[in-house]
Amino acid sequence: MDIRGLMRKTACMHLHVHVHSMLVFVFWVFVLANIGGTAAKVPALIVFGDSSVDAGNNNYIPTIARSNFVPYGRDFDGGKPTGRFSNGRIPTDFIAEAFGLKKFIPAYLDPKYNISDFSTGVTFASAATGYDNETSDVLSVIPLWKQLEYYNEYQNKLKAYAGEIKAKEIISESLHMMSLGTNDFLENYYTIPGRSSRYTPGEYENFLVGIAGNFIKQLYALGARKISLGGLPPMGCLPLERTTNVVGGNDCVPSYNRVALEFNGKLKNLTLQLHQELPGIKLVFSNPYYILQQIIRKPSLYGFDVTSVACCATGMFEMGYACNRGVMFSCSDANKYVFWDSFHPTEKTNQIIANYVVKRVLTPFL
């Protein structure tokens, strides 16, 4: 229809056009509200875990498990080191963006942010932590039970900020993500004596699955209904593990990958079981194993050149304070590398994993 032609006609016709555009307008408001309504189904992303999802909580506790210095963050929002263990954003930042919430999820202990920021997303995660209290003790970081205490405190602040009813609605509609477990094996079980003298790998897996199950039940009791439980990556392929696998020709360590697969199977089972036990829960198992394995096996498909060593420093063993301003040889283009430091993916890898998880696992929440 030629709107301008109609506009030149009588007042009566003007009215008609106005009514017509009103209807068009109402139609679009309806469509947009619908889209907005769908996005608002997840008003916040609430995150628990380790360095895979820590945005800088460890900057505010006394630990050496830190990364708030260059070259960390050199590709993050103008080159800011935040405490994220990457050159840029981490998976939960990309997931929050995909949900239309924000471009990055702030750390709960960061005084630059307050409850008005946290009401749409927050991470309680702490690098170097695990399910097991003995894992978080190794580098004195925030144990999982403490992350739950912070979450409780957060809920009280949210009630004061948004009101009791609105806060409860935010909690029950928000997506709660858990991402941890690698450190229980690599930093604890296989590195320091203790757990390994008391448990076989299979028994230790069961011990951790028990803690994961209790944690999910506690989240549920606090009102959470949408939960994503993250699995382990192929942890035998992290550059640090390859570097130390001298007899295996610096290839991935098969026994670590087997344990990751077995543990993931048990976590998957746990989610199926809790789905039956807890009415109204929407619980998904989010598995990064196969996508990361595919990237490592066929890096060129994703535009990567290097998988076995990391970008920072020699790429063989440096992470945390060993990956710092003074080190030489850091790669010039992190996008060519799957791993940023010897233990953590580059921003580009994080983005690929996040996209995969959003499309394959989190669709029920989108």
Ligand X SMILES: *[C@@H]1O[C@H](CO)[C@@H](O)[C@H](O)[C@H]1NC(C)=O
Residue 92 Cβ vs ligand X, minimum distance, rounded to whole Å: 21
Whichever of 181 and 320 has its CB closer to ligand X, that residue is: 181
Residue 358 Cβ vs ligand X, minimum distance, rounded to whole Å: 26
Catalytic (active site) residue 51: yes
CB 176 within 8 A of CB 46: yes
Alpha-carbon distances of 241 from 45, 156, 272, 331, rounded to whole Å: 32, 42, 32, 20
Q: Look up residue 256 and give its two tokens.
A: 């670590």
CB 319 within 8 A of CB 240: yes
Whichever of 268 and 336 has its CB closer to ligand X, that residue is: 268
Catalytically annotated residue among 50, 51, 119, 132: 51
Percentages helix, strand, coil for the chain (3-state, rounded to 5) are 50, 10, 40
Residue 207 Cβ vs ligand X, minimum distance, rounded to whole Å: 8
Residue 326 Cβ vs ligand X, minimum distance, rounded to whole Å: 34
Catalytically annotated residue among 86, 119, 228, 344: 344
Whichever of 83 and 130 has its CB closer to ligand X, that residue is: 130
* Measured distance CA(68)–CA(84) in Å, rounded: 7
Whichever of 114 and 152 has its CB closer to ligand X, that residue is: 114
Report, in angstroms and rounded to the nearest whole number, the Rg of the chain calculated over CA atoms.
Answer: 23
Binding site for ligand X (CB under 6 A): 114-116, 133, 145, 161, 211, 265-266, 269
Q: Is the peptide bond before 71 cis (omega within 30 degrees of 0)?
A: yes
Whichever of 159 and 266 has its CB closer to ligand X, that residue is: 266
Cα torsion angle, 233, 346, 308, 292, sign: positive
Half-sphere exposure of 129 toward its Cβ, with a 13 Å CA cutoff? 27
Residue 262 Cβ vs ligand X, minimum distance, rounded to whole Å: 6
Catalytic (active site) residue 77: no
Catalytically annotated residue among 75, 132, 341, 342: 341
Catalytic residues: 51, 341, 344
